[in-house]
Chain A
């Protein structure tokens, strides 16, 4: 099934979601944050997309975008790619950990490095940076060159020490 066909199937099934088709080398489906979980449930349960390969946060000038690459371990073929937009101020989108438990650490990583919150995530803590670190280093406004850095001591006791 091509991505165009899978988009048309989804758009016919969920006309109220206002799904958008995005052309490109890897065509994607743009979905509103509030409809993400329902769409994901449908893809996982009905269409055998049981494997969420990758969760990526991208920092665009006007928005944050979280990209999901979904595959199936039982049927062949390329991915269904979902893109969800989040506002620049306090970005937050629903978590899909309840559907694909494997998205757990990847969502934590997006929160840690990009600062996009995942509501409903069972354990949304930093994963690669330490607790108490200020800021989200993969954002474009975070300093990246060595003379721009300011290092701060971790604040407070770490949870398990």
Chain B
């Protein structure tokens, strides 16, 4: 039998593609159906966020961070205000600290709901599971709207506290939601965790060994699914996270299925933190007195938080004026995305899509 000549072909995937979570291009080198190499091309959503941030004043940048990872606006604001508070040595009041924790943990649940929903989308189960998860996201969005006046761009965190105290209806509604969430997560798991299709498509796909994950600088659920118990809320506790009792969820294999399980586990842990925060929420002030013109002292700081997607850090340089001299964002999606070629090599084209979904990227944050 004569040997057939084969050669690799190059295929462009994106920038307009339903599975790329925004405008994002992949250059795939294929050998038949098998992926030989992947080169991610980013920057289609670049608007030089950091440069615009240098022209804004310190206070204007808080709502501007909402536009980074628009799935988790509260986390972005949290990281930014903590960095500015570290720079200018402002202590927010106790009640504001608790409200912030409630908001960001709700945000983590929202983010993981979206990731789990989209993962099923990417497996080919088009939008039914997605809508199922988004329904619960909407309930959180209602709470955001009640507290901040806006669903997705809340501008609720202020330097030195939060914008306003919680309205009277917030706490009962939030408690009701938090009480109902574990039941819904159970239901979601009954539908997905043991599903044969989910297991076949996700197990042993895109395995990321722990040493490779650390080398690529991966953080968040992507790193923990590989079995590295690194959570900034534990490794370098910020705000009042040292007061709460929760577990760091880790995986064992580091495949797509483990990343799904870690996100499910983290939602349960967030519910635990929420229960404690709602129980301990003290009365009192929610913000330090505001200044008309905010000018932090000279200096530079880096502050990082465990955002739903991984380490979100802000490196701020102040020259003592009313706007930052340098405003740099260390975006978790941007760094995590570097592991994509490693995850995809040797798998089929269809698995590329699943791998993107399991990394969890938002282009608003990758491209900045």
* Residues 41-75 of A at the B interface (beta carbon under 8 Å): 50-54, 56, 58-59, 67, 69, 71, 73
| CB–CB A113/B50 < 8 A | yes
B325 to chain A: closest residue by CB = A58
User: In the bound complex, what is the Cα–Cα distance between A97 and B52 (angstroms)?
Assistant: 29
Q: In the complex, which of the residues A69, A113, A130, A142 contacts B315, with contact meaning CB atoms closer than 8 Å? A: A69
> Taking the complex as formed, is B142 at the interface, i.e. its CB lies under 8 A from any CB of chain A?
no
| Bound-complex Cα distance A56 to B326 (A) | 10
Could you tell me which residues of chain A, from 93 to 148, have a CB within 8 Å of some CB in chain B?
100-106, 109, 113, 126-130, 137-138, 142, 144-145
Please name all residues of chain A whose beta carbon is closer than 8 Å to the beta carbon of B223 when the two chains form the complex.
73
Chain A 69-94 interface mask (CB, 8 Å, partner B; 1/0): 10101001111010000000000000
* Complex contact A69–B10 (CB within 8 A): no
* Cα–Cα, bound, A50→B50 (Å): 27
Question: Bound state CA distance, A130 and B43, in angstroms?
Answer: 8
| Known interface pairs A102-B335, A129-B43, A160-B27; 14 further A-B residue pairs with C-beta atoms within 8 A, sorted by A's residue number | A53-B330, A58-B325, A59-B326, A67-B300, A71-B235, A79-B302, A101-B217, A105-B334, A106-B334, A128-B42, A138-B48, A138-B51, A142-B51, A144-B55
Residue B338 at the chain A interface, CB threshold 8 Å: yes
CB proximity of A88 to chain B, nearest CB, Å: 16
Task: Tell me the bound Cα distance from A130 to B317 in angstroms.
Answer: 27
* Interface range on chain B (Cβ under 8 Å from partner): 35 or more
Query: Is A26 part of the contact surface with B, judged by Cβ < 8 Å?
Result: yes
Interface size, chain A (Cβ < 8 Å)? 40
CB contacts (< 8 Å) of B326 on chain A: these are 56, 58-59
Residues of B within 8 A of A142 (CB): 51
Chain A neighbourhood of B51, CB < 8 A? 137-138, 142, 144
In the bound assembly, the distance between CA atoms of A145 and B48 in angstroms comes to 12
Distance from A89 Cβ to chain B, minimum over Cβ atoms (Å): 21
- Does chain A have a CB within 8 A of B225? no
B325 partner residues in chain A, CB cutoff 8 A: 58
Establish whether residues A54 and B87, one from each chain, have CB atoms under 8 Å apart when the complex forms. no
Given contacts A105-B335, A128-B42, contact A56 B299 (CB under 8 A): no
Report if B16 contacts A (CB, 8 A).
Answer: no
The 3 closest A-B pairs by CB, nearest first: A102-B217, A128-B43, A54-B330
Instruction: Choose one: B10, B217, B317; the contact of A53 (CB below 8 Å).
Output: B217
Q: Is the CB of A144 within 8 A of B54?
A: yes
Are A101 and B328 closer than 8 Å at their CB atoms?
no
The complex places the Cα of A60 from the Cα of B335 at a distance, in Å, of: 26
Chain A residues with CB under 8 A of B313: 53-54, 69
Q: How far is the CA of A128 from the CA of B228 in the complex (A)?
A: 30
